[in-house]
Structure 1
Amino acid sequence: MKMMTLAALALAFSPVAFAAKETKNSLNIIEARIFAPLKGSSATAGYGTFTNTTGKEVAVTIEKVEPFKAVEMHETIEKEGRMAMQKVEKLTIPAKGSVDLKPGGNHIMLFDPIREVKADETLKVTFKVNGKSETYDFKVIPRVKPEGHHHH
């Protein structure tokens, strides 16, 4: 019995066991956050920085965010002298590279929550990464409107 316990401990602390835990997701997301929707608004946005931990580029699509009915990835572009958002089907994260999701750039749009979403809660965001579902925690933060600036 003692040998089985020692063998189990040796396996649990082996580099292989640690490597498996570290590579659960092929992406890391730093500063993953979603703005709490403003009163009366049915849409909000999510941001963070995707970092690809693999040696190959990865394709990322948004799958779902509980409790929102719909989610999309958007990019901000200049169109006829004005800034506009357009839906993008996927983001490509270069090998060992990163892509920022930020106001005025690429971001996640979330529509029609089925319940109130409050600051300081954590939401599960599911992406497809090279076709495989991976779920990440995003912190809901209060939206602070800068003077004279409107986004979404």
Structure 2
Amino acid sequence: MSKYVRLCPNCKSKSNENSSLRGCGYSTFLEENEYICEVCGKTVTDLKMLTEDYRILIKVSPEPKFIESMIQLQETDIVEYNLKMSQFRTQVQQQENSRAQAANTVKCPRCGSTNITAGQRGFSLLTGFVGSGKTVNRCANCGHKWRP
């Protein structure tokens, strides 16, 4: 796989599923550095943008004009481009960390609250001390109890 993004100049102007700003994965190898788009038949060109940078930009905003302006910025002012890419990398990393943290957070199955306490089941009039040593989660919002 190339370390640079390959885009089809013809699909680029269309706003459909095969838009080049989504990345043209439909290309057939012709000669040494020449590829053809299997969707429209035009020659696919390599941008001077790394695939890693392109993926970060898509995560920040899949808007085609945003991607095009970043490609233009890279060509005209590489220092400003690198500063912006550094900011975008930090932003994407923070988003991924917050998603991972949210996925690992315990929530009440009844109300969705994250205000959860864990403790011993305790004594019951019905069962007495049977099972009183087992751990249960309790929602501080609605009072729902469940096994961890």
Same fold, judged at TM 0.5 (above): no
Q: Which structure dedicates a bigger proportion of its chain to helix?
A: 2
Please state which band the TM-score falls in when normalised by the shorter chain.
under 0.3
User: RCO (CA 8 Å, sep 6+): is it higher in 1 or 2?
Assistant: 1
Structure index of larger Rg:
2
